[in-house]
Structure 1
Amino acid sequence: MFKYLVSLPVLLPSLALAQTTSTGDLLAKVDDDRWSIGVAASVRQSPYAGEGTRVRPVPLLTYEGDRVFWRGLGGGVHLINRNGFRVDAVLSARMDGFDIDDLGQRELRANGIDPSQLSDRDDGLDAGLAASWSSRAGEFKLSALADVTDRSGGYEIAADYAYAFKWGRSTLIPGVGVRWMSDDLVRYYHGTLDEEISRGVQRYQPGSALVPQVSLAFSRPLGEKWRLLGAVDYRFLPSEITDSPLSEPDTDGSAGLRIGITRSF
């Protein structure tokens, strides 16, 4: 039973916190079938001024092969996979972009920003490496991802720990993690761009940022082939993000909820 729990790789960023977290790794392997398909909803308290709660539908398509895997909005290749140690080459969607029209015009003006002078921020695509170690004490993962679409030109290094245990018919997976984002990444999504500054927008170009988070994921079977999956998390936002004129005032964190249903084959 314990071996089943700790050998439970990433489901998807919107359901299992982030594309490369240990919590997501353990959750994705609760179902031992090679294929699964489903749908999820991602609800997150947005840190951006006036956006409120961000809701997104997310497809859940998972394939687990001996070498190749696909999980929701990303996938990769197992380069090393033996004795509880795994190294993967991964590709992951970064869904941090936003349309200016979705932000609060009044809130941005209160922050000293003219919304008409701002540009949208695009989602991106990251690629990199992820290494994980599984043992009786849980799973630890270290990952490094870089923007290959040159939206931000930045990169992120993350460390995560998670532990899975049974509670009745459900599997619960608490986790903790920390992500270090490069200055280019933080400036693109939370600073003001050079093109905006040239239009008269106030200059705000923060440095790199460290974002801790805590999470709890769960999985519960619904019959033989169906499964209910979900996760809650809270991200502690640093001053590099909260001091941004794009941010909601007095915001120091961001809570998220993801829930979905899948059918395995």
Structure 2
Amino acid sequence: MTHIPSTHPRAPRRQATTLPLAAAAAWLALMATPTSLWAQQPEPHAQEPAWGLGLAVSTDRKPYRSFDHKVRPLPLVTYENRWISIMGPGVDFKLPSAGPLDLRLRSRFGFEGYEAKDSPHLAGMAERKGSLWLGAAATWHTGVVDLSAELLANASGHSKGHQLTLQAERRFQAGAFDITPRLALQRQDRKTVDYYYGVENHEARPGRAAYAGSAALNLQAGVRVGYTLAPRQWMFVDLSTTRLGNAIKNSPLVDRSSQPAVTAGFLYRF
């Protein structure tokens, strides 16, 4: 499920910090992980361009029945300047801040779909494709917790849906360690759920009835633990689990009520 996830976790800072966040997903097949993996928050008024390279491995337990789960390598690429932020498959265009409120236009490519070969229970299902998502995001830095909202619409013409994500997170520093817990609520509309979890009449089989999805509320809890090896070197582990809404759990394609994910990686900031 894309998410999020989100979404503005932060790594150890310098003047224009950039980083992929915990559902690191620059690898195409992995964008089903929450978008919070990639979201980030730079220093306010950051001017100097900064970029980073790294590598991670990630796995998530998709809710589809007997789905082929794999551990995948993730190339991490980040870039940040005054007007743009690139994080894996996502690009943010920064708008003028309004005090503690950061505003952005957001584009992201998601790989939430599947192919029939991914599970024997998906045999006879048409491919569900990943999509380009466009929208806006806002983050309010309260001084105690960062509150964010992200509204994205499917711009690829596949599901033709949209999703709204609300998230709260806070970063704690303890020497070389940083710990960032987060809690997010995501609403996926009827079209999105129906596209990825619905079953068309011509796809129905014995044991797989036709199913029309409806809007779903998904709840995610996660924590990212980072460690600064050197001033420019940072490693992290991100753990999360997403409790799926009833409209997803009730799909005949699904046999799980939650979707856990783990990502670990290393980033070098230039």
| TM-score over 0.5 for the pair | yes
Conservation of the 8 A alpha-carbon contact between 2:180 and 2:225: yes
1:228 Cα deviation (Å)?
Answer: 0.5
- 1:167 correspondence with 2:183: no
User: Corresponding residue for 1:154?
Assistant: 161
Conservation of the 8 A alpha-carbon contact between 1:234 and 1:255: yes
Conservation of the 8 A alpha-carbon contact between 1:46 and 1:54: no
Question: Per-residue CA shift, 1:3-39, capped at 9, x if unaligned?
Answer: x69x9787357328633x499425x77xx97110112
User: Corresponding residue for 2:86?
Assistant: 70
Conservation of the 8 A alpha-carbon contact between 1:237 and 1:254: yes
User: Corresponding residue for 2:266?
Assistant: 261
Conservation of the 8 A alpha-carbon contact between 1:99 and 1:120: yes
Cα distance in structure 2, aligned partners of 1:63 and 1:73 = 12
- 1:133 correspondence with 2:149: no
Relative to its length, the structure with more helix (as a share) is 1
User: Corresponding residue for 2:116?
Assistant: 100
User: Corresponding residue for 1:11?
Assistant: 20
Quick one: which of 120, 126, 130 aligns to 1:119?
A: 126
User: Corresponding residue for 1:46?
Assistant: 62
Cα distance in structure 2, aligned partners of 1:209 and 1:168 = 40
Report the count of equivalent residues.
246
Secondary structure at the residue paired with 1:174? strand
Cα distance in structure 2, aligned partners of 1:172 and 1:195 = 48
1:261 Cα deviation (Å)?
Answer: 0.9
Segments of 4+ in structure 1 off by > 6 A? Answer: 7-10
1:54 Cα deviation (Å)?
Answer: 3.8
Cα distance in structure 1, aligned partners of 2:104 and 2:226 = 24
Quick one: which of 81, 90, 95 aligns to 1:79?
A: 95
Question: Per-residue CA shift, 1:41-83, capped at 9, x if unaligned?
Answer: 2210120110153433222110111011101110110012253
Unaligned ranges ≥5, structure 2: 1-12, 26-32
Quick one: which of 30, 40, 47 aligns to 1:25?
A: 40
Secondary structure at the residue paired with 2:40? helix
User: Corresponding residue for 2:251?
Assistant: 244
Alignment TM-score, normalising by the size of structure 1: 0.83
Secondary structure at the residue paired with 1:184? helix
Conservation of the 8 A alpha-carbon contact between 1:12 and 1:74: no
For the aligned residue pairs, the C-alpha RMSD in angstroms reads 2.8
The amino acid that maps onto 1:143 is E
Cα distance in structure 2, aligned partners of 1:63 and 1:132 = 19
The alpha-carbon distance between structure 1 residues 154 and 120, as it changes in their structure 2 partners (threshold 3 A), is: same
1:93 Cα deviation (Å)?
Answer: 1.8
Alignment TM-score, normalising by the size of structure 2: 0.82
